[in-house]
Amino acid sequence: MRRWMISLLALALLILGVWIGRAEPTLGWVPAVRGSGILAAVFLGLSLACTPVGRVLGRSVSAWRRSFGLIAAGLALLHGVGAAATPLVPQLRLLWYEPLLRAGAITLGLLLALGLSSFPRRWSPRHWKALHQLVWAAVLALLGHVALSPHASSVELGLMAAVVVVLLLARAWPGLGRCHRPQDQGSS
């Protein structure tokens, strides 16, 4: 599975490189910072989509979910560090005052905590599952971060919110995944 994770990360970096290449030279790293944030959101969405897709396919896709989640956390870290290193965030103390930065910092903190908890084997399944439900808090903080961003369009925000609603409905729908199993044919 490590090859897939490296391949996905390489693809994400390639997309980020293309994004940087299209940037205006006067903008500096701003498009790269924005691109890393968009990619982090995409990989977080892919990670969340793994459970419903796995139920429909009738097989475990947990390795994909973990890889996508770790890539999302890594790209979110790249986004946060990039934002702090550019004129987008002139002073780190603004994290306390600016709701946009606060929402981004909360999202980053939650994703990093979830990413770090994916490695130790000390977590019992009960604790691990409870901890990883925090991903939905990270998703809400991410939606807040995007909603407050002057760079995000209402179309981007609406699309993200629609994806989150679909993913929540897919997780809550009890019949999802039963369509691929053959019905029990009784001999009556």
Rounded CA separation 42/51 (Å) = 16
Whether residue 8 contacts residue 70, with contact meaning beta carbons closer than 8 Å, is answered with: no
Other residues' Cβ atoms within 10 Å of the Cβ of residue 141: 20
Tokens 């908890």 belong to 117
Q: Please state the domain extents for the chain.
A: 2-171
Q: What is the pLDDT of residue 183?
A: 47
For 131, residues 6+ apart whose C-beta sits below 8 A from its C-beta are 113, 114, 117, 123
Tokens of 44: 């977080």
Give me the tens of pLDDT residue by residue for the chain, a chain 188 residues long. Answer: 566 666 777 677 666 665 655 555 556 667 778 888 888 999 999 999 988 888 888 787 877 888 889 889 988 998 888 888 776 666 767 767 788 888 999 999 999 988 888 776 666 566 667 777 889 999 999 999 999 988 888 888 999 999 999 988 888 876 655 544 444 444 44
